[in-house]
Structure 1
Amino acid sequence: MVLFNKPYDVLCQFTDNSPTPRVTLADYIPVADVYAAGRLDRDSEGLLLLTNCGKTQHRIADPKHKMAKTYWVQVEGDISTAALQQLRTGVVLKDGITAPAEACRIEEPEIWPRTPPIRQRANIPVSWLSLTITEGRNRQVRRMTAAVGFPTLRLIRAQIGQWQLGSLAPGEYQTITLTNL
């Protein structure tokens, strides 16, 4: 299995057929025959797992297995206790209510600067939270924070199940051998 710290603006696939080629996993990972176990939006960063085993990929990516995924989320505004409680109990989105999440305010994590930097308004504070979900809806974390009134500015996946981002710098990967999943 490959643990990869996906940088901002990188597609979670190895090829891109768009008229203007974009950066893909092939620009970072020279390991043959591995595929992403789940996705991470182009504008999100952090831990992505890749594997050559279909069973492992299914176990990690399929929402019915409810593998927890933890994100560090920078939001616009000083996130309120009420908003955190809403995230913990479930948020109503257009495609239904979300499962309860683990949500808590955190200090800004020790992370790399993003290129390009996030937009930030001088008169509006920002805050960070740790959000753990067990679903995998499209852009779910961003939609959840927006629904409670705090739009996401930066999103970094820090953990998937037992695997953590650790000290991997953006664009770095580590190959590990699975002993038990």
Structure 2
Amino acid sequence: MHRHFLLNKPFGYLSQFRSEDAREARKKRFLGELHDFPAGTMAVGRLDEHSEGLLLLTTDGLASERIRRKDVEKEYYAQVDGLITDEAVALLQSGVDIGVEGGLYRTLPCTAFRLPAPPDFPARPRKIRDDRHGPTSWVSISVAEGKNRQVRKMTAAVGFPTLRLVRVRIGGVTLANLAPGQVREVPDVVALVLGPAPAGSQLA
């Protein structure tokens, strides 16, 4: 019987369970510190060390492969430097050029909109920045592709660098009320992902 988990990955953790590099193993934090996962558990996709939010884990390699297909949409809430404009949001929606593997890549059209109010996330352990440096705003970006650091590169490309990035949805699975570091076991992660996304807030 395979096992499946939802995790709210906190800031500062790598999306892996250990490192073969002794120096990295001493200095970095890993998913195995958050829960006693069974042998063979793998992360379905990744979030970089400084990104937070929904991460799926499974012992089933076939389930992992299905979820990582391009037609599964992922939604992110990005806190950006400055008050993002309608023009910048329209550019995100239509596609922008980002650097990928030494060349330029045009992102696919996506869903993007400015959030009317900051989401109710717990404070991050490391302060984002000093408020004297100016205002920030939040934008929702949903993509069905997964280039390295894609959302961060997209917001930078339209002039609003990302300060904080939280993944709130993968397919039909939302972050819901999972606290940072909290793990929830589910019976079938593929069925959840491929099902319809709930209406309303991804954090309710």
TM range (shorter): over 0.9
**Matching residue within 1, 8, 15 for 2:11:** 8
Out of 51, 69, 78, which is 2:74 matched to? 69
Write the letter of the residue equivalent to 1:119: R
1:60 counterpart letter in structure 2 = I
Q: How does 1:145-164 map to 2 (within 5 A)?
A: 145-164=155-174
What is aligned with 1:101?
110
Q: CA deviation at 1:117?
A: 1.2
Secondary structure, aligned partner of 1:103: strand
Residue-pair matches, total: 179
Distance 2:69 2:130 in 1: 35
Question: Does the residue aligned with 1:109 lie in a helix, a strand or coil?
Answer: coil
- SS of the residue 2:93 aligns to: helix
Tell me the SS of whatever aligns to 1:85.
helix
Is residue 86 of structure 1 aligned with residue 91 of structure 2? yes
Partner of 1:94, secondary structure, is: strand
Aligned to 2:87, the other structure's residue is in SS state helix
Distance (Å, rounded) in 1 between the aligned partners of 2:36 and 2:46: 19
Question: Mean alpha-carbon deviation: is it higher for 118-127 or for 145-154?
Answer: 118-127
What does residue range 1-181 of structure 1 map to in structure 2 within 5 Å?
A: 1-16=4-19, 17-20=21-24, 21=26, 22-32=28-38, 33-63=40-70, 66-95=71-100, 96-106=105-115, 107-178=117-188, 180=191, 181=194
> What's the CA shift for 1:30?
0.7
Cα distance, 1:122 vs structure 2: 1.4
- Segments of structure 1 that go 5 or more residues without pairing to the other structure are none
Q: TM-score, normalised by structure 1?
A: 0.95
State the distance in 2 between where 1:124 and 1:165 align: 29
Which amino acid counterpart does residue 13 of structure 1 have in structure 2?
Q
Distance, in Å, in 1 between the alignment partners of 2:168 and 2:92 is 18
What do residues 86-114 of structure 1 show as CA deviations (whole Å, max 9, x unaligned)?
A: 00000111231001111101110011000
* C-alpha distance in structure 2 between counterparts of 1:112 and 1:132, whole Å: 22
Output the amino acid matched with 2:31: L
**5+ residue gaps in structure 2?**
195-204
Identity %: 41
For residues 29 and 54 of structure 1, the distance between their equivalents in structure 2, rounded to whole angstroms, comes to: 20
CA RMSD of superposed structures (Å): 1.3
Query: Using the alignment, how far apart are the partners of 2:99 and 2:53 within structure 1?
Result: 26
Q: Partner letter of residue 103 of structure 1?
A: A
> Following TM superposition, by how much is the alpha carbon of 1:121 offset from its aligned partner in structure 2, in angstroms?
4.4
